[in-house]
Structure 1
Amino acid sequence: MEEKKFDFNTIIGFVLIGGILLFMLWQNQPTPEEKEAQKAEKAKIEKLAEDKAALEKSSSDISLEDATKEIASVNKGDSLSLASLQNRLGSFAYSGTLPSAKENTTVIENELLYITVSNKGGYITEVKLKNETIYNGSSVYLIKDGNSTMNLQFSAENRLLNSEDLYFEPTLSSNGNNSVLSMKLKTASDKYIEYRYELIPNDYMLGFSVKTQGLDNVINTSQPIYLDWKFKGYRHAKSITYENRYSRLTYEHENEGKHDKLSPTGEDAEIEKDVTWMNFRQHFFSSMLLTETPFKEVALSSIDLVLDEAIDTVYTKQYGAKMLLAPKSGGISYDMNMYYGPTDYKVFKEYDRNLDEAMPLGWGLFGWLNKYLIIPLFGFLTGFLPAGIAIIMLTVLIKLAMSPVQYKQYLSQAKLKVLKPELDEIKVKFEGNKMKIQQETMKLQNIAGASPLKGCLPAILQIPVFYALFTFFPSAFDLRQKSFLWAEDLSSFDSIAELPFNIPFYGDHVSLFPILASIAIFIYMMMTTGQTMQQQQQPGMPNMKFLMYLSPLMMLVFFNNYASGLSVYYLTSNLITIGIMLVIKKFIIDEEKILAKIQVNKKKPKKQNKFQKKMADMMEQAEQQKKNKK
């Protein structure tokens, strides 16, 4: 067996190989400069990862896929530098690194409003009216759960930005008794976009401004800058169909010269110039934006969201206003106001900015009667009377004021009644000759002073008051949630029974006040139209019997879903009218005296006016032409 010996040559070989390896490792280790380069490269990669995260919160025109590719390019040592990628991302991408860049809100409030403003987007995300409730007793929210957004859209650093995607830094302070909230979207401590809110005690109007600071070289003012307000109106009333009928986008434009509105049904859109305010009206509540500097151009839109009364719809209308802002000295500066509160004429008039034009009070004479007669009078009455009693008193005062006109109307009807025997004789005497019958009838009526036109004229004079009241009651905020007898809310229908099905135009319930008002109208029509039917029916006159049934039927069907306060007015009005007519008939007008006076007047020559003479000549000519043809 061979004896193992220690081999020095092998040991020397291993030592030489180890030395060579150590030399190679020492030779290939990075220099201090290379170590610094590696550290810098690592920092680049970490920074790009942060930029990618910030990019996810911005509306940059560079995609996340592109950012990832560019990060990979840096890792591979490509020529694209970190600085070039930062330039593409832009300054606003770094808003995410601010302390305020988190989901948080700030509250400002006074005795009337509770307002919440979000850091993200810097706009109002909640508005609660503290002193108001809806039909089921819940609080009135004009803004809640994302139904309203306010977005400033602008171009900066070769990309389109939307403020609603970026984070603002809040600062809450006070200006005397006013609460001031400054929301700033910063690129640096002295460079920012600011939304400023100022809330005054006991006021529905708050100050609102949009301004920029130090962004002259950042915001591209050669591209359009828009303030985009989107809003969906919540349902607040028991009858969403009735509420939706009076929910409408109204606005003032062309330097306070014109007031217009979009359609209350379907979809409608307009582009207007120089808009000074807009109102997203929800019947009894309004959300408004007003500006000291008119918006150069505004794209307004309205979409009706109520398709079926039977469906439990949450929203009534979807409104939109995209406002084109005009830059000043390279920046933006707009002083505005926001109004969140009741659609109340008395409140609107306090601001002296034509806000009453946002209310459906009627046009021309009708609106004038509402503004200067009916609203002040009703406001005075509700100052010391319950709303239901105030409606009755308002009706009594108006009927008393109109009683002289009604007296003349009934007097003309009484004259026609006593002339009926003579009118019947004319009809028999000239039977078959309609032209002659009409001619002799007009002659007799003229002598007696009993022209049907004189009876219609007083009724025509009452139409402006009638229509003014028709527009007043649905918009009277003082009636909201005021009860009377069985009606829980005079601004809504007074349901006494629910139906298991829905009747087209009528609804799924039965309201009592419209039924009573229909009965009163029918009795009144019987007393007036019934007398007319017994008198000489002139050729071409409408069918009085048809009208006698049509008016009560329309009242019964269409007013079933209207405000019960309006039905209370019509019921009271017709009951008073019936009472006045009975008093006039029983105690004031003596038909025998009227007949005797007519006989005396027939003996006196009565000169015709120009119109009567012209009508008589025309009828004589027509009669002569008829004879010539024969």
Structure 2
Amino acid sequence: MDRNSVTGMILIAIILGLFWWMNKPSEQEIEALKLRRDSIARVEALSAQEAAQKADINQQAVTQELQATPDSVLHKRKTDKFGIFSDAVDGENEFYTLENELLKVKFSSRGAKVYSVELKEFTNYKDDPLVLFDGDQNVFGFNFFYNNRILNTNDLHFTVDSDASNDSTLRFKLNLGANQFMAFDYKLSDQSYLVDFAIVQNNVDNLIQANRGGFDLDWKMDVIAQEKGRTFEIQYSGVYYKYYEDVVDDISGKSGDEDFRTPLKWIAFKDQFFSSILIAKDKFAAGKVNLNVYPEEGNSPILSTNTASLVIPHAGGMQNEKAFQFYFGPNKYKTLKKINGLDLEEIIPLGWGIFGWINKFAIIPIFNWLEGGIANYGLIILLLTLIIKLVLFPLTYKSYMSTAKMKVLKPQIDEINKKIPADKAMERQKATMALYSKAGVSPLGGCLPMMLQMPILFAMFRFFPASIELRHESFLWANDLSSYDSVLDLPFTIPFYGDHVSLFCLLMAITNIVYTKMNQEMTASTNQMPGMKAMMYMMPVMFLVFFNQYASGLSYYYFVSTLITIIQTLLIRRFIDEKAILAKLTANQKKPKKKSGFQARIEEMAKQQQLQQKSQKGKKKR
């Protein structure tokens, strides 16, 4: 990037800043807007109050009418409307619990559904029990046709079959006649996050009709905020789904919806670190999903409302059973990977392509190996960083050597720049490339080793915010390595930066500035690209702003990684003799050197430029 580009960017930033300042509302306009919003809020509150009063009046009228209506008439109305299901419409909701070492799952007889789920090994950021959902935050039921009416199991009251239930199994039964019933079976095994779920139909095929060759499943769930950093919890939450015998896809980070015309294997309502997943033993024929994300500034305890409408294939038959599984548990790679053949681990955003491969086949195995013998995750990150830097040391050394060669050649490059004026850029470039070629130096020699390290840096960028292992793990002043570390809470919010100061992020920015300064001292051609020097110092400042709200474990890793690189550079510099390097390069220049294809192309371009210049001068003389 040249000086003009940098100047242009600065001017654009100044213009945008002035535009924002000139167009920002005055205090009077802000006050007027506030009064308008307050007025609207009062009107809406009054309207809601009036609506509630009308609803109460209507409810009282309905209650009075029902009280005045004989029981026999009410019973006949209900029978005419719901037929054999009339006894299941009304009833008292009863609760039952299945529990193991990991889960506490509560069920309600109304709808025979999962009512609440508690993960016993985890807490939320307030250190309260971690509940995935509770009560009306989970709506789950199947639609079917009966007597030309659409009924939903979520509105029906089931009874528990004591003969088919025990400490690990529950059977909710809806008796519809002699040896005619529909049952929902649940089973929770020891040391498992999986809940087996089956729908059993016995001799009811003539009573319950499917729609379009299948039953419609409606599932709606409110995802509760569990973490301190709401911004990144939303970013890493969403609806994930796997196409039958195909890839995993998702809607995440923002509201959206998707219609499916092809079968699905499973669907997951995912938080940053926990998920509720419904898995079909066979498949879902089709369906649609929706993600509705709540605004961050609303401070709602709910992150999003997720809904799914899925079609369960139904071929008919007097005895019929459809099997499913629920997964209620952490988004832990090793745990999800053990559930073979389902690709559930794909809900963890480890990065695409080579970044994901590095995480799956290198970073996670090393991390899990260290985790087996070390309890402190700060030390684990430190050792992981040391291992990575040790593996990458040959590339670091090669990059430094290339930079050192460029540095010792700098006086000769400066001499070329003095002899050849700046308006003859191609001629100057030709002479510089000829010098590099004779000396045996590649201008890209320092860049390529650094480029080869970039995939690991990006892989770690995805790894730390998605690693549940770091959740609520403290190190030094950071009480949660999966969230930001605040050493100072600000009384105001700085745009893009936030309302706190992250010390690990600050240390990371400082070490990057130091490393940038060391690189600038080693760079041989800074005079050719003055704008790049300023840009290099802007990067640490951008990191300071960007990473302030990121996981402190990530900032800590980048800080330690850069610090180790600085130490490596100082050690290499101490043991390398630049005079010996210059002597070797000088000897190389005296040897006959075959032109490379790249150099030949540069020279040919220079010749063409010279010919064009001569041609233009000849035309002017005429």
The bucket for the TM-score relative to the shorter chain is 0.7 to 0.9
The residue that corresponds to 1:524 in the other structure is 515
SS at match of 1:290: strand
Select which of 483, 490, 494 maps to 2:481: 490
Structure 1 distance, partners of 2:489, 2:81, is: 64
Pair 445,270 (structure 1): closer, same or farther in 2 beyond 3 Å: farther
Pair 592,328 (structure 1): closer, same or farther in 2 beyond 3 Å: same
Structure 1 distance, partners of 2:353, 2:580, is: 42
Partner amino acid, structure 1, of 2:539: S
Structure 2 distance, partners of 1:528, 1:210, is: 66
Select which of 304, 309, 312 maps to 1:317: 304
1:174 CA displacement: 7.4
The residue that corresponds to 2:74 in the other structure is 49
Deviations 1:368-393, CA, capped at 9 Å, x for gaps: 11111100101111222210001011
Select which of 416, 434, 437 maps to 1:426: 416
1:222 CA displacement: 4.5
1:394 aligns with 2:384: yes
Select which of 254, 260, 274 maps to 1:285: 274
1:604 aligns with 2:591: yes
Structure 2 distance, partners of 1:493, 1:201, is: 35
Select which of 78, 92, 101 maps to 1:102: 92
The residue that corresponds to 1:590 in the other structure is 577
1:470 aligns with 2:461: yes
Pair 626,604 (structure 1): closer, same or farther in 2 beyond 3 Å: same
The residue that corresponds to 2:253 in the other structure is 264
Matches within 5 A, 1:201-212: 201-212=190-201
Select which of 541, 550, 556 maps to 1:562: 550
Partner amino acid, structure 1, of 2:506: I
- Higher CA-based Rg: 1
Select which of 194, 202, 218 maps to 1:213: 202
| Aligned residues with identical type, % of pairs | 39
Structure 2 distance, partners of 1:174, 1:185, is: 13
Pair 441,104 (structure 1): closer, same or farther in 2 beyond 3 Å: same
Question: Would you say the 8 A contact 1:420–1:536 is kept in 2?
Answer: no
The residue that corresponds to 2:66 in the other structure is none
Pair 92,622 (structure 1): closer, same or farther in 2 beyond 3 Å: farther
1:510 aligns with 2:501: yes
Structure 1 distance, partners of 2:255, 2:530, is: 35
Pair 89,613 (structure 1): closer, same or farther in 2 beyond 3 Å: same
The residue that corresponds to 1:182 in the other structure is 171
The residue that corresponds to 2:537 in the other structure is 549
Question: Would you say the 8 A contact 2:526–2:533 is kept in 1?
Answer: no
Question: Would you say the 8 A contact 1:173–1:181 is kept in 2?
Answer: no
Partner amino acid, structure 1, of 2:111: G
The residue that corresponds to 1:625 in the other structure is 612
Pair 45,233 (structure 1): closer, same or farther in 2 beyond 3 Å: closer
1:338 aligns with 2:326: yes
1:343 CA displacement: 0.5
The residue that corresponds to 2:84 in the other structure is 91
1:120 aligns with 2:110: yes
Question: Would you say the 8 A contact 1:529–1:544 is kept in 2?
Answer: no
Partner amino acid, structure 1, of 2:201: T
Partner amino acid, structure 2, of 1:240: R
Pair 144,46 (structure 1): closer, same or farther in 2 beyond 3 Å: closer
Structure 2 distance, partners of 1:185, 1:48, is: 25
Select which of 434, 444, 450 maps to 2:441: 450
Pair 435,298 (structure 1): closer, same or farther in 2 beyond 3 Å: same
Structure 1 distance, partners of 2:593, 2:162, is: 84
Structure 2 distance, partners of 1:220, 1:241, is: 45
Pair 620,102 (structure 1): closer, same or farther in 2 beyond 3 Å: same
Deviations 1:34-79, CA, capped at 9 Å, x for gaps: xxxxxxxxxx975432244xx4xxxxxxxxxxxxxxxxxxxxxxxx
SS at match of 1:260: strand
Select which of 240, 244, 251 maps to 2:234: 244
1:358 CA displacement: 0.9
1:225 CA displacement: 2.2
The residue that corresponds to 1:4 in the other structure is none
Deviations 1:180-212, CA, capped at 9 Å, x for gaps: 111123322522222211101011011112232
Structure 1 distance, partners of 2:610, 2:441, is: 24
Matches within 5 A, 1:33-182: 46-52=71-77, 55=78, 86=79, 88-96=81-89, 101-171=91-161, 179-182=168-171
Pair 466,189 (structure 1): closer, same or farther in 2 beyond 3 Å: farther
Question: Would you say the 8 A contact 1:94–1:187 is kept in 2?
Answer: no
1:87 CA displacement: 5.2
Residue range with higher mean Cα deviation, 445-454 or 559-568: 445-454
Select which of 304, 316, 341 maps to 2:293: 304
RMSD value, Cα: 2.1
Structure 1 distance, partners of 2:420, 2:349, is: 53
Structure 2 distance, partners of 1:571, 1:513, is: 7
Residue range with higher mean Cα deviation, 199-208 or 324-333: 324-333
Partner amino acid, structure 2, of 1:402: L
Structure 2 distance, partners of 1:369, 1:160, is: 51
Question: Would you say the 8 A contact 1:283–1:475 is kept in 2?
Answer: yes
1:613 CA displacement: 3.0
Partner amino acid, structure 2, of 1:118: S
Structure 2 distance, partners of 1:202, 1:409, is: 50
Structure 2 distance, partners of 1:46, 1:132, is: 50
Partner amino acid, structure 1, of 2:321: S
The residue that corresponds to 1:405 in the other structure is 395
Partner amino acid, structure 1, of 2:495: P
Pair 174,562 (structure 1): closer, same or farther in 2 beyond 3 Å: farther
1:298 CA displacement: 2.0
1:536 CA displacement: 5.0
TM-score by length of 2: 0.84
Structure 1 unaligned regions, length at least 5: 1-43, 56-85
Partner amino acid, structure 1, of 2:168: S
Question: Would you say the 8 A contact 2:164–2:171 is kept in 1?
Answer: no
Structure 2 unaligned regions, length at least 5: 1-68, 618-622
Question: Would you say the 8 A contact 1:423–1:536 is kept in 2?
Answer: no
Residue range with higher mean Cα deviation, 566-575 or 448-457: 448-457
Structure 1 distance, partners of 2:606, 2:283, is: 60
Structure 1 distance, partners of 2:606, 2:144, is: 74
Partner amino acid, structure 2, of 1:218: L
Pair 616,188 (structure 1): closer, same or farther in 2 beyond 3 Å: farther
1:437 CA displacement: 0.6
Partner amino acid, structure 2, of 1:473: F
Residue range with higher mean Cα deviation, 87-96 or 315-324: 87-96
SS at match of 1:182: strand
Question: Would you say the 8 A contact 1:178–1:201 is kept in 2?
Answer: no
The residue that corresponds to 1:349 in the other structure is 337
1:374 aligns with 2:332: no
